[in-house]
Amino acid sequence: MSDETCIFCKIVQKEIPSKIIFENEDNMAFLDINPISEGHAIVIPKKHYNTLEDLPDDELSKLFQVVKKIAMLLHEKLNIDGYNVVQNNFKAAGQEINHSHVHIIPRTFGDMKIRLSLPKTSATNEELDRVLSKLKS
């Protein structure tokens, strides 16, 4: 299952060159060509799925086993302090390529590469109850 217009499917088919870190029957990991930091890697299922919601559970499990393997490899070999695992779904969340994928972004203390602004105030019980009610209805 592939999409002939998808850049990641073309990488899987070796129609587009990439710097492959790991490959098995189901998944592939390669270096991002627009890295946020040195060693920024992308892990993809070889089959085309648009988003996390489309991935069958068994494929998702296999994908995240590779994510863990690559994250550990980057941590060990690149002498980094940590890493972010980022998975965007749909345009509003920053997904640019409609092929489900996971970014592993190496980090060092003070690098200022990714900044997530957390709210300074807590949600009220009423706000949390309203959301919980929507999710459970």
Which residues are designated catalytic?
Answer: 101
Torsions phi, psi for 92 (to 5 deg):
-60, -25
Please state, in angstroms and rounded to a whole number, the distance separating the CA atoms of residues 119 and 121.
6
Task: Give, for 117, the enclosing helix (H) or strand (E).
Answer: none
* Tokens representing residue 77 in the block: 């070999």
What tokens does 26 get? 């189901």
CB 60 within 8 A of CB 69: no
